[in-house]
Every structure is written in structure tokens, then in C-alpha cells.
Amino acid sequence: MDKIVIKGERPLKGKVKISGAKNSALPILFASILTEGWNTFHNIPNLRDIQTTTQLLEFFGMKLKNGWINHTGDFCVTANGFHSHEAPYELVRTMRASVLALGPLLSRLGKAKVSLPGGCAIGARPINLHLKGLEQMGAKIEIEGGYVNATAKKLHGARVNFDTVTVTGTENLMMAATLADGETILENAAQEPEVVDLAHALIKMGARIDGAGTKTIRIEGVPELRGVEHTVIPDRVEAATFMMASAITGGNILIENTHSSDLESLIAKLTETGVKIRQEKEGLRVEGPKKLKAADITTAPFPGFATDFQAQFMACMTVAEGNSTITETIFENRFMHALEMIRMGANIKIEGKTAIVSGTKKLSGAPVMASDLRASAALILAGLTADGITEIHRVYHIDRGYEKIEKKLRKLGAKLKRVKVKY
């Protein structure tokens, strides 16, 4: 097991290139289950969740070649040659996105056996909305021994109204509907850029989809889909993390390969805290002030302030001038990083779904424990601004969502290293 050791109080300067979006690449890789022929996907990040997904696709009998060609992020995959419809626990226990195999397998093969998903310990993320929607489309669902067993002679169109907004639920049903008989209408659908990117890939494959990026998505089923070439969008969460790394360290970073339109809620809040952000020819320039100003946030589905930005923003507010209120509306356990920041001298009080942060002059380096993916990033940010040495344990979470984060930070002037630890 590894830990990351950081010597803080160093402003970050330079430029960083953002990798492809994990939360876009994963459903697009699973969408290849639906197609005939080879798919070529560009800008696929080399992350642990991606590696797990490719192992799972190979377990199904799919063929992969080239992988990350010359480290460019190119990936080729074909769904010809299935010999399994099961996503076993041993492969998917660390990755919640494995549930995205359910819709494509059921639609293409008429059967799927998928282990109930694992992933970050940030609260309940039930898949009941996925299962309810698939049942409306004609699937028979049974849960036994920790697995979802789904069968359907042929899925049919249905009108599905999600009780709450669900990104993976929207993606799963959208993929399932592409080969179903008739029209499927998804109401209260997720509007995230990753959902739109998946829709664009599916449309290239021959799917008939209208309304992606709005609350209502219509999918008209087609007989078959074909392999395509598609480039995955940049990772807005990685971009957001580096933006906030510049903010918290008083740095000056040029962020390359990012879409500012996907970051408008964060840009507005960081501007409120005194960060200067401007679009340049090569990317987004982010300049942190000498002292951040406090600002309040409430997480919400896109286009609101993303829950995946919350932990990093809290890190920024621990050293801001004034008091800030952070309200988490998506996941009930996503304040576990706050307790670790308190170990570093942060002044944070948790009241239910709200964290009240009173900015301090300076954080102090300390040994801390990462509880999930975004908490890992937040603790790194805290360590970058802290006085002394910060040791972040259980950083295996970080490898699920950030490609070469230590290398990228060192290139910007951060002093940090990864160390093997025997527990």
C-alpha cells in the first residue's frame, strides 16, 4: 500500500494537460458491448477503473488490441466473440461503474449477471432506479447472492421517469434502449457532459437519440449498432482539481485540454473567492490570490456545483478569509475528508448535510487517511498549502480517477512523492 508525502507552501506554476474523462470513458467502453465490428476510442485515461473495465470486457470474450498506443490514450475493442454474460465480484468489487455492463449485456444478449457494485465509501448509491427502468422495458430482474440476474427475450420501449437524477441510471437505460423495440423516453434524465458524450458516441454507432443534455432523452431502438471512432471529452473533475490547486497555493496554472463550458459553476465560485480565471488560446489560465475569500456552495446535479468538486473546494475554504457554508445534497457520507482536514488544523463543524468552515491562517502538515477518490484529491490540495510535511495514507483511491497526478503536480513545482508502506 502507498502513501503520498507532501512538503507544502509552494505555489504551483506552469501548465498541465488534462486527461480524458474517466466518467465518460467508462460508459463508452461498456457501450462497445452493443456494437458489431471494431471501435477505436481516443483519449482514454490510464486509470485503475479503466484497467478493471478492460479486464471485464475480456472476461466477456471481447477482444482488445493496442491498448494505450504510445501512451496516447488510443484503445481498440470489438464485441465479437462473447462467451460470458457475467460480471463477477472478483473483478468489479472496487468499481461502482461495473453496473454499466447491465444495460448493454441485457440489450445485446438478452441476459446479464452483474455483481452489485462497490467503489467509494461515500454513502448509499442504490441501483434500484436502473432496475426499475429495465423492468419497465420488459426485463425480469432477480437479486440473489450479491448479483443482479436480468433476462429479457427482447427489451421494448418505455417511458421511464427517474425519481431522482441518476447519471449511471440515465447512461445504463440509454444504452439498453438503443437496441430495444420502439421508443424509450427518459424523464428527469441526468444532463452531465459525460452523458452527452456517451450519447454522441452511441449516435456515431447508429443509435437514434435526441435530447441528451436535457431532462428528457428520447431513444428510438435500432436493429444493430456498428463500431466507430470516438474521442472522449476532457475530464472536468481533473481540470477542476488543478484549478483549485492553483487557487489554494496562490499559483498560476495554464490548464490545457479542458472545456470551460463544463466548469461554469466552479468558475463562478472561484471568481467569488478572488481567483482570476481567463480563457487563453492554449487553455484556461487560473491565478490564485494571496488570500482566498470565503464562499458558500450547495452541490447539485449538472449544471449545478458538482459533488465531485466539493471536497477540493472545502480544502480551499479551510484557508480562506471568513466563514463558508458547504451543503452536500448528493451523497450523505461525503464529509469524511473534513475530519482529516481538522487533524491539519482546519476549523470545520459538521451539522447534518452542512459543513461550516471558518478559514484559518495556515494548515499544518499531519498524517491523514484518504476515505475515497475525491477526498484523496482534497487532502493533496490541503497538503500543498500546509506548513511542514503531510502524509496521505490509502492513496490507492487516487489511482481510480487521476492519471499520473504526482508527475503532473511535480511538473508544476509541487514537492511530493509516493512511498511504499508496510502496514
Residues with a catalytic annotation lie at: 120
Are 282 and 254 spatial neighbours (Cβ–Cβ below 8 Å)?
A: yes
Exposure class string for 380-411: b at 16+ Cβ within 10 A, else e: bbbbbbbeeebbbbbbebbbbbbbebbebbee
- Alpha-carbon distance 407 to 400, whole Å? 16
Look at residues 122, 130, 128, 124 and name the one whose alpha carbon lies nearest to residue 105.
130
Residue 36: CB atoms within 10 A of its CB come to 14
Q: How far is CA 380 from CA 45, 161, 218, 350, in A?
A: 20, 39, 41, 21
At 327, is the secondary structure helix, strand, or coil? strand
- What are the backbone dihedrals phi and psi of residue 167, each rounded to the nearest 5 degrees, phi first? -70, -55
Q: Which amino acid is at 226?
A: R
Q: Where do we find the cell 484518504?
A: 370
Q: Which amino acid is at 167?
A: V
At 217, is the secondary structure helix, strand, or coil? strand
- Alpha-carbon distance 255 to 258, whole Å? 7
Q: How far is CA 243 from CA 232, 256, 260, 287, 371, in A?
A: 21, 11, 11, 9, 22
Look at residues 232, 210, 285 and name the one whose alpha carbon lies nearest to residue 13.
285
- Alpha-carbon distance 158 to 185, whole Å? 6
- Alpha-carbon distance 392 to 407, whole Å? 16
Are 269 and 297 spatial neighbours (Cβ–Cβ below 8 Å)?
A: yes
First to last CA, the chain: 8
- Alpha-carbon distance 384 to 379, whole Å? 9
Q: Where do we find the cell 487560473?
A: 286
CA contacts within 13 A on the Cβ side of 148: 27
291: CB partners within 8 A, 6+ apart: 274, 320, 321
Residue 93 DSSP symbol: T
